């Protein structure tokens, strides 16, 4: 799993650098660094718990199955998951969704993308499929049902899922994990 970099911060308006060189629309490198305020966490999928220690105690920690656990940072609107003690998954909660974690302090995240052609793009509930396709090109695959449409993109060993609300068409969740 090592080699796909990701980072996270417990702040609502987190900035997300996708390692895209200037002029290279939609081509992602393996690095995803998140920044905000003064601290930055840059790690890689596969890192151990120590890499996220500066985030402090999560609002909720739950072992979900075997050696897989979820760390919810409700005020930041994101969750990081570990499998066998290794960083395996990152989710930003952007809009209403029946599958949101239940927590009284949960806020919606509005990550801002950094780098190359997508510089400054903010992922909010107003982001729709045509905008994502304009920024990233056609998705690798699409999964649609009455409740949602999920657009899948894979770049440099990172899979990104953009979950779109079936009624409004707006973005509700952004998931990242190693390919």
pLDDT tens per residue across span 96-127: 999 999 999 999 988 877 666 676 788 999 99
Q: Radius of gyration over alpha carbons of the chain, in Å?
A: 15
In tens, the pLDDT along 66-102 reads 999 999 999 889 899 999 999 899 999 999 999 999 9
Q: Is the pTM of this model over 0.95?
A: no
Question: How far apart are the C-alpha atoms of 63 and 43, rounded to whole Å?
Answer: 22
In tens, the pLDDT along 46-62 reads 888 887 777 788 999 99
- What 67-74 contacts at long range (C-beta under 8 Å, 24+ apart), as own/partner pairs, is 70/101, 72/101, 72/103, 72/106, 73/8, 73/10, 74/101, 74/103, 74/104, 74/105, 74/106, 74/107
């Amino acid at each position: 799993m090592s080699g796909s970099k990701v980072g996270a911060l417990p702040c609502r308006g987190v900035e997300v650098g996708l390692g895209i060189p200037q002029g290279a629309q939609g081509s992602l490198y393996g690095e995803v660094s998140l920044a905000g305020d003064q601290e930055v966490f840059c790690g890689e999928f596969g890192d151990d718990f120590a890499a996220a220690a500066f985030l402090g105690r999560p609002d909720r920690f739950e072992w979900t199955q075997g050696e897989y656990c979820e760390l919810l940072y409700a005020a930041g609107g994101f969750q990081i998951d570990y499998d066998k003690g290794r960083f395996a998954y990152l989710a930003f909660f952007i809009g209403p969704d029946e599958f949101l974690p239940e927590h009284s302090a949960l806020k919606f995240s509005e990550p801002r993308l950094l780098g190359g052609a997508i510089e400054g793009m903010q992922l909010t509930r107003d982001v729709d499929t045509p905008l994502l396709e304009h920024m990233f090109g056609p998705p690798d695959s699409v999964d649609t049902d009455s409740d949602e449409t999920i657009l899948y993109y894979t770049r440099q060993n990172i899979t990104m899922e953009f979950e779109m609300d079936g009624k409004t068409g707006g973005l509700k969740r952004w998931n990242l994990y190693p390919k």
